[in-house]
Structure 1
């Protein structure tokens, strides 16, 4: 079985064309994945900054909670002191 040189040339040309197209697609995919990785890195940095801000806000809320507990204790002490100053409730006296 003999294959003509034109057929062999056509097969080689199709093979080279396929390799070129696949190489171009691979290059495009590699570039796109690099760009997406860079974008995700930027997004990760932004989320890290937001996480730091949330941690600061959480610390502030914890300090506020502690302060409210202190104020609640002081208020309870004031209520007890006022009740002691007023004395017991007057009772009806029997004749």
Structure 2
């Protein structure tokens, strides 16, 4: 078979399938409509991909913040242990000092009461 005959056969087969396709679907779609649909689909895919990237980014940030909180919690636990270890001695010191201040306050009240003297019991008419 010669090349021009082969081209004619292939062209006829393609045109026949195109005609059959048009007959089945019954409409033509222009290139602009196909391009617009392609752009819309691409934008939709890009938006979904961008949203997925954003979710992953936020998850990584939250994981880092959670790690930092875990480290801070460990530091607080160590400080709490130190405070608990020293707590009894500090509590005894504070209790002793508060007791001393309370005794001094009572003594001060008694001294002020002695300075003022007794309250008058009856008021005199004028």
Superposed pair shares fold, TM > 0.5? yes
Q: Provide the residue aligned with 2:33 in structure 1.
A: 11
Q: Match for 1:48 among 55, 62, 70?
A: 70
Aligned-residue Cα RMSD (Å) equals: 2.7
TM-score by length of 2: 0.47
TM-score by length of 1: 0.60
Deviations 1:16-75 (A, max 9, x none): 2111001011111111211211111111101100000011111111122112345579x6
Q: Match for 2:59 among 8, 28, 37?
A: 37
In 1, Cα distance between equivalents of 2:45 and 2:59: 21
How far the C-alpha of 1:12 sits from its partner, in A, is 3.0
Summarize the alignment of residues 76-95 of structure 1 with structure 2, pairs less than 5 Å apart.
none
Q: Provide the residue aligned with 2:50 in structure 1.
A: 28
Q: Provide the residue aligned with 2:87 in structure 1.
A: 65
In 2, Cα distance between equivalents of 1:23 and 1:47: 36
- Give the number of the structure whose alpha-carbon radius of gyration is greater: 2
In 1, Cα distance between equivalents of 2:62 and 2:94: 47
Gaps of 5+ in 2: 1-25, 97-126
